[in-house]
Homo-oligomer: A and B are copies of this chain.
Amino acid sequence: MASKRKVSNPLALAVMALLFERPMHPYEMVSTMRERGKHESVRLRYSSLYSIVEALEREALILPLETRREGRRPERTVYGLTEAGRAEFLGWLRELLGEPVKEYTQFAAGLSFMPALPPAEAATLLEERVRMLEEEVGGMRSRVEAAAEQGLPRLFLVEAEHELVLREAELTWVRELVRAIRDGTLGGMLEWRSFHPELEAMDVEQQGKGGDV
């Protein structure tokens, strides 16, 4: 990740996006991102922010415009976007929108090694996931709808909508997967059970009953 773009953390994109509008100091970037809910789509950490601002300055994509000190507070440096920064921002943005990139999710990693757990336990865990996803999806949907009713145009909700759509797809798929495990129609159930011989003797009803173990 460290070579294609010299500063590759998406937070750097957000910094440039903000400075594309107007000069700001780092703390103001954080508040602005929070106000606009951008911290929902870009991971925002103070410590990363300051390193990233440094890196962007090193690469001459942004530059300090003025440094002010109020009282005994720490200095605040206001940054602006350079011409190179504008170009980098727009180019990166075009790439992000135009080219899908492979993303590795935590859940995919979990699914890959699911056979290490007994089927009944996996099903129980996935059911818990379904419950939590239902809540999350419900919450997201009402927040999006509320924002829309408050007059926020859809253009500014696309990233939230995108996340919602993906979570809904996951939810639907996991529901079906659980069903296939529970009713034994998932291809590979025999192999799966055979990985867990200690449970072979138990009857289906008992497997995965409690959180025992």
Q: Footprint of B on A, CB under 8 Å? A: 10, 13-14, 17, 20, 38, 41-43, 89-90, 93-94, 96-101, 103-117, 121-122, 125-126, 128-129, 132-133, 136, 148, 153-156, 158-159, 161-163, 165-170, 172-173, 177, 180, 186-189, 191-192
- For A10, A97, A153, A169, the residue with the greatest tally of chain B CB atoms inside 10 Å of its CB is A97
18 A-B pairs (CB sep. < 8 Å): A10-B109, A13-B109, A13-B113, A17-B116, A41-B108, A41-B109, A42-B109, A93-B110, A93-B114, A96-B109, A96-B110, A98-B126, A114-B158, A115-B155, A154-B186, A154-B188, A155-B188, A156-B188
The A interface, classified by DSSP as helix, strand, loop or mixed, is: helix
Q: Given B38, B111, B117, which contacts A94 in the complex, CB threshold below 8 Å?
A: B117
A175 to B105, CA, bound (A): 23
